[in-house]
């Protein structure tokens, strides 16, 4: 009888490949199978053994070519064969990454697993845009919510219950930005509250739209996913704290997002 292997569920960070943890690289270098997402920087795959199997399970917004149930089954199947499996996920696995669901499936199947936390885009992207989530005298707290289910047809967020002060970080909310802004204004946030939308933060393709709740929807109209939304007084600090210069970090042929985020084989 084959003894099951193990699944390492690793947070790959928000996009900059240098932001993966030392422990994450340690296990990635031992992988026999790498199961990776759309928002994992392809450069990280170079750290896995050349003979490892790579399985792409990326999900486009509104279009999931591989369901979560199928991903769970892949992890169980590969580990049941005695393999060391690395599940490489963008950001942190337990911050809107469905890592908990994958761990539940593995536990129910009797497959050993371990979790390696990653740097969440909720923390790193504002930092790269010069936006501190907390600042003495301006914000003594921050709240992170998903905007993926924030639309009027399937709202899972009670906007009125969110704090009216502090910093609000919204992940996966770009498609619902107009509704989010409307809901925050209706819930008591001032129209002059600073707001930012940041596309592909921490990468050379980073683009920021800075404004207020009154005009951020218009200012961000040309920004595409992936992007995060930051709302609060600290956003105004970006004008003097923005230290990251994306254009200076561009490498030849790297100005197309798909070169950073693509399945193996898509570039060949």
Active site residues: 37, 59, 172
Q: Specify the long-range contacts of residues 238-242, CB closer than 8 Å, at least 24 apart.
A: 238/129, 238/130, 238/131, 238/196, 238/208, 238/210, 239/130, 239/210, 240/130, 241/130, 241/131, 241/132, 242/129, 242/130, 242/208
CA distance 159 to 15: 29
The residues near 45 (Cβ < 8 Å, ≥ 6 apart) are: 34, 36, 54, 88, 264
CB 91 within 8 A of CB 11: yes
Residue of 203, 213, 212, 185 whose CA lies nearest to 245: 203
Pairing of strands 207-212, 194-199: antiparallel
CA distance 203 to 245: 10
């Amino acid at each position: 009888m084959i003894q099951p292997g193990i699944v390492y569920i690793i947070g790959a960070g928000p996009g900059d490949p240098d932001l993966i943890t030392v422990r994450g690289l340690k296990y990635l270098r031992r992988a026999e199978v790498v199961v990776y997402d759309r928002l994992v920087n392809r450069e990280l795959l170079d750290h896995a053994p050349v003979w490892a199997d790579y399985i792409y399970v990326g999900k486009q917004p509104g279009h999931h070519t591989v369901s979560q149930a199928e991903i769970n089954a892949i992890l169980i199947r590969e580990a049941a064969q005695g393999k060391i499996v690395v599940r490489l996920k963008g950001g942190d696995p337990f911050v809107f990454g469905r890592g908990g669901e994958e761990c539940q499936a593995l536990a129910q199947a009797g497959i050993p697993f371990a979790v390696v936390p990653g740097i969440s885009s909720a923390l790193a992207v504002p930092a790269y845009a010069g936006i501190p989530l907390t600042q003495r005298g301006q914000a003594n707290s921050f709240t992170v919510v998903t905007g993926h289910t924030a639309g009027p047809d399937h709202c899972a967020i009670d906007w009125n219950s969110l704090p009216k002060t502090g910093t609000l970080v919204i992940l996966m909310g770009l498609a619902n930005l107009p509704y989010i802004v409307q809901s925050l204004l209706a819930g008591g946030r001032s129209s002059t509250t600073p707001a930012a939308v940041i596309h592909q933060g921490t990468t050379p393709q980073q683009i920021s739209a800075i404004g207020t709740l009154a005009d951020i929807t218009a200012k961000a109209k040309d920004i595409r996913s992936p992007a995060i939304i930051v709302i609060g007084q600290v956003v105004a600090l970006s004008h003097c704290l923005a230290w990251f210069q994306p254009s200076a970090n561009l490498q030849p042929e790297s100005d197309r997002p798909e070169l950073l985020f693509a399945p193996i084989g898509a570039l060949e």
